[in-house]
Amino acid sequence: MILRHFIVAAILVGFVEMAYFKKQTVHYWIFAVVISLFMGLVWQATRLTHELALESLITTGGERLTLYAGTLRGALSRYAYLPYVLAQNEAVRELLDRGVSAERVNRYLEELNREAGSDALYVMAASGTTLASSNWRESFSFVGNNYGFRPYFFDAQQNRQGRFFAIGVTTGLPGLFMSHPVYRQERFVGAAVVKVDLDPLQDDWSRGGETVLVSDNNGVLFLASRDEWKYRTLAPLSEVQRASIHAGRQYVNQPLQLSPLQTIKILGEGRRIVRAEGISYLMLSRPLAGMDWELHHLTPMTLVEERTQAVAIIGIASVLLALVLVMYVRERRQKQLSRRKARDAEAMRELNLRLQEEIDERDRAEKALLDAQTELVQSSKLAALGQMATGIVHELNQPISAMRTYAASGRLLLEREEPDKVRESFASVERLTDHMASITAQLKTFAYKAPKLRKPVVVQECLDGALAMTDPLLSEAEVSLRKQIPEEPVVISGDRGRIEQVLVNLIRNAVDAMRGASKRILRIQVLVQEQEAEIVFEDSGSGIEEKNLAELFNPFFTTKEVGKGLGLGLSISYRIVTDLGGTIHAANNHDRGASFVVRLPLLNQTKKTDKVKE
Ligand code: ADP
């Protein structure tokens, strides 16, 4: 029964798992194995509980059986001596032997029966006819009746004590008949019999509320605490059995139907599980010593079943609960996981969005910068153009207006016929055109393209040339020169003229910057670094304003008054130096003035591609 429920529960659990997992993944199998193990454990616990409960039921049932056997034996032994006492009585013997003094014996039996509390006492002759009985006065008196067919009489005939439960043929009332043979001068003369009513005992059992049964040698239940099972059989009766019962007229007209007790399981040693009217019982049976009867005690299995069921239900419920719990935890974890994934995805999306915004922002900034730069280039170009135009106009305007004056005065002088003065005017015009030519020459230099051919040039020689050119300027401005030049010729590659132009320009600027300064010192250094020749001009002039440092090398940048400078010198120098693969830098000195450093690659360091052509 429990096994069936258990299997149903196991299948249910299996279905729940299958439905939950859908796919037979590794988790599914792990889960299935764990659940099977748990179900196995529950099954073992259920079985153990069943066995223990049954064991305790057997113990208490056995104790009850012993008790009932005792009460039955006690009831029998109370009367068992009576037939023996009668068999010893001389009057009884004489009556059975010779058929005299029946009345005396009747009275004696009547008296004894009352005293002993038995149902009836009577004596039978060797023929089986009752000669005297305790109920001789009653209508249902046994006297004169022949009970020779009763097995207890046969037993007496065989010189045995007889014990026989039967329904009385005269009274119709059931009772236990106990007989004893009566002998006179060693001759069987009859039997003495006591009939005991066992109904009070049976009533006691019924009142106890327990199921106690006694079956005879044919398996007929003749004593039963449950009335409806009385005179029913434990097993179907054979024909022989029926015939013998009939011959002894034991149960008179009782149909002797099969009892509803069905054996479910035989446990051995007189124990078995039976079922009747939908209830299972533990049935314990024990033969009664000295008799061919069997005493049975039935205990309902409800307690065992309830306990077992409780354990099974708790076990299965626990497994189901664990199953649900695991599913819940798993579900929750998966939900959390997907929530986290969603959160991560959202964060990633936001990050991407922000990144994209940043990219867009940068693009916009870049574009704005580019626009600003273009604008700046455009405006600086225009500014430079304007500055240049102003410079050129100013530079050229002066000589032009002077030339016009000279031309006008020349015409006047010609009319006045003063040829000497006319000559002077012409000479002035000539000077002015020279000046104009020098301006345009400078502009031409700016547009000058670097010649491809280069020659080895000694730095010292270039410097000497530049100094020779600027000597009048240096002396006029009273600049003292400090030179630090190595004796070894420092050879670079380039063309001397252009390098001299750079150096002259730097010397000029230095002199200009030192005009008005109290100390006018120009230091010129030539150094040989690893791969370069380094020419340094360090003056003690005004220095360069910080904001102008970045612009010095731009064309037309000048801080000099209009007419004093075009702002082309440094930009031309820059172009020449970079053409030769060198660099030019400007910086302010720590104390006073500015420094310009020109670096040019040494001849042997010139790149192969720039190979010098002799
Ligand atoms: P210009 O001499 O016609 O102004 P440059 O290109 O030679 O043109 O010089 C540009 C500007 O650099 C000068 O106007 C001046 O302000 C600055 N400068 C050049 N050399 C020096 C120097 N040694 N000390 C201070 N300022 C200098």
What confidence score (pLDDT) does residue 571 get? Answer: 86
Q: What are the tokens at 84?
A: 């023996």
- Is it the case that residue 412 has pLDDT exceeding 90? no
What confidence score (pLDDT) does residue 611 get? Answer: 39
CATH of 451-613, one of 3.30.565.10, 3.40.50.300, 3.40.718.10, 3.20.20.70: 3.30.565.10
Residue 590 near residue 498 (C-beta atoms within 8 A): no
CATH of 82-197, one of 3.30.465.10, 3.30.450.20, 3.40.50.1820, 3.20.20.70: 3.30.450.20
The mean pLDDT value for 386-395 works out to: 69
Q: Whose CA is nearest to atom 14 of ligand 1?
A: 558
Q: Which residues are within 8 A (CB) of 258 and not within 5 positions of it... i.e. 6 or more apart?
A: 232, 233, 235, 236
Which of 387, 390, 439, 509 most suits a substitution to test ligand 1, by most atoms within 8 Å of the C-beta? Answer: 509
In CATH terms, is domain 368-448 a member of 1.10.287?
Answer: yes
Q: What are the tokens at 86?
A: 């009668």
The mean pLDDT value for 533-554 works out to: 93
pLDDT in tens, 223-259: 888 888 888 888 888 888 888 888 877 787 778 888 8
Helix or strand (DSSP H, E) at 50: helix 26-77
What confidence score (pLDDT) does residue 446 get? Answer: 57
pLDDT in tens, 290-309: 778 889 999 988 888 888 88
Angle of helix 102-116 relative to helix 90-98, nearest 10 degrees, comes to 140
Highest mean pLDDT of the ranges 372-381, 383-392, 532-541: 532-541
Q: Whose CA is nearest to atom 20 of ligand 1?
A: 509
> With a 6 A CB cut-off, is 510 part of the ligand 1 pocket?
yes
The fraction of the chain above a pLDDT of 70, given in percent, is 92
| Pairing of the two strands 521-528 and 480-484 | parallel
Query: Same CATH fold, 451-613 and 368-448?
Result: no
> With a 6 A CB cut-off, is 567 part of the ligand 1 pocket?
yes
Q: How far is the CA of 538 from the centre of ligand 1 (A)?
A: 14
What confidence score (pLDDT) does residue 584 get? Answer: 96
Q: What are the tokens at 534?
A: 């380094």
Query: In sequence order, what DSSP letters do the residues of 399-425 get, joined into one string?
Result: HHHHHHHHHHHHHHHHHTT-HHHHHHH
Highest mean pLDDT of the ranges 101-105, 195-199, 223-227, 341-345: 341-345
Q: How far is the CA of 528 from the centre of ligand 1 (A)?
A: 26
What confidence score (pLDDT) does residue 384 get? Answer: 61
Tell me how far apart the alpha carbons of residues 51 and 56 are, in angstroms, rounded to a whole number: 9
Q: How far is the CA of 453 from the centre of ligand 1 (A)?
A: 30
Q: Which residues are within 8 A (CB) of 360 and not within 5 positions of it... i.e. 6 or more apart?
A: none
Q: Where are the chain's structural domains? A: 1-77+301-344, 82-197, 200-300, 368-448, 451-613
- Is it the case that residue 560 has pLDDT exceeding 80? yes
More confident residue, 164 or 25: 164
What confidence score (pLDDT) does residue 610 get? Answer: 42
What CATH number labels 200-300? 3.30.450.20
What confidence score (pLDDT) does residue 598 get? Answer: 96
The mean pLDDT value for 382-396 works out to: 69
- Is it the case that residue 585 has pLDDT exceeding 50? yes
The mean pLDDT value for 552-568 works out to: 79
> With a 6 A CB cut-off, is 148 part of the ligand 1 pocket?
no
pLDDT in tens, 75-100: 888 898 899 988 888 888 888 888 88
Tell me how far apart the alpha carbons of residues 552 and 570 are, in angstroms, rounded to a whole number: 7
> Running DSSP on this structure, what letter comes out for residue 301?
T
What confidence score (pLDDT) does residue 450 get? Answer: 54
Q: How far is the CA of 530 from the centre of ligand 1 (A)?
A: 30
Tell me how far apart the alpha carbons of residues 71 and 92 are, in angstroms, rounded to a whole number: 31
The mean pLDDT value for 37-48 works out to: 86
The mean pLDDT value for 499-525 works out to: 94
Of 261, 218, 215, the residue nearest 242 (C-alpha): 218
**Which range among 387-396, 441-450, 492-501 shows the weakest confidence by mean pLDDT?**
441-450
What confidence score (pLDDT) does residue 612 get? Answer: 36
Tell me how far apart the alpha carbons of residues 506 and 525 are, in angstroms, rounded to a whole number: 13
The amino acid at residue 26 is V
The mean pLDDT value for 365-391 works out to: 72
- Is it the case that residue 614 has pLDDT exceeding 50? no
What confidence score (pLDDT) does residue 226 get? Answer: 84
The amino acid at residue 573 is S
